[in-house]
Structure 1
Amino acid sequence: MALLITDECINCDVCEPVCPNDAISEGEEIYVIDPDLCTECVGHFDEPQCVVICPIDCIPKDPNHVETESDLLAKYKRLTGK
């Protein structure tokens, strides 16, 4: 499942630089996560780095982009060429 940044986002800018897939970018009002690039850090880290670093806990799983661990690993391999 990809992750999603909710409206509680305070635009603190700490999540974007820690994303290994460059899936996080500035949206019109808050940061956004591209579900085609988000692997929840599978293949890179044990936990999603944006979730770990977010000071207000506004990055849940996106119910509109349900993926299994194996789906996320396949996406990681496709994105990284590994």
Structure 2
Amino acid sequence: MKISVDYDACVASGQCVLAAAEVFDQREEDGVVVLLNENPRAELADDVREAAALCPALAIRIEE
């Protein structure tokens, strides 16, 4: 699994962090997503998929 993020599309809702805090964080100054790990462990795959599904801006892309 490889993750990419469209930082320009991010609306700083924080849903990704709530779903997968080991993979996503937010910048303090504006709340935009920070991708902590573009190739997370297999155990985190479901959390990452949930984060992508919850993103209101559809800013998270997953390559399986």
Q: Same-fold call, TM > 0.5?
A: yes
Distance 1:5 1:22, change over 3 A: farther
- After TM superposition, what 4+ stretches of structure 1 lie above 6 angstroms from structure 2? none
Question: In the TM superposition, what are the counterparts of 1:56-71 in structure 2 within 5 Å?
Answer: 56-61=57-62
Tell me if structure 2 keeps the 8 A contact 1:5–1:33.
Answer: no
What does the per-residue CA deviation read over 1:31-78, in whole Å, with 9 as the maximum and x for residues that have no partner?
A: 111126x52x7324286121111112111248xxxxxx6xxxxxxxxx
- Counterpart check, 1:14 vs 2:15: yes
Tell me if structure 1 keeps the 8 A contact 2:15–2:55.
Answer: yes
Structure 2: how far apart are the matches of 1:32 and 1:52? 17
The alignment yields a C-alpha RMSD, in angstroms, of 2.9
Flag the structure with larger Rg.
1
Give the TM-score normalised by the residue count of structure 2.
Answer: 0.64
Structure 2: how far apart are the matches of 1:31 and 1:46? 16
Give the TM-score normalised by the residue count of structure 1.
Answer: 0.53
- Residue 22 of structure 2 aligns to a residue in which SS? coil
Q: Which has the higher contact order (CA 8 A, sep 6+)?
A: 2
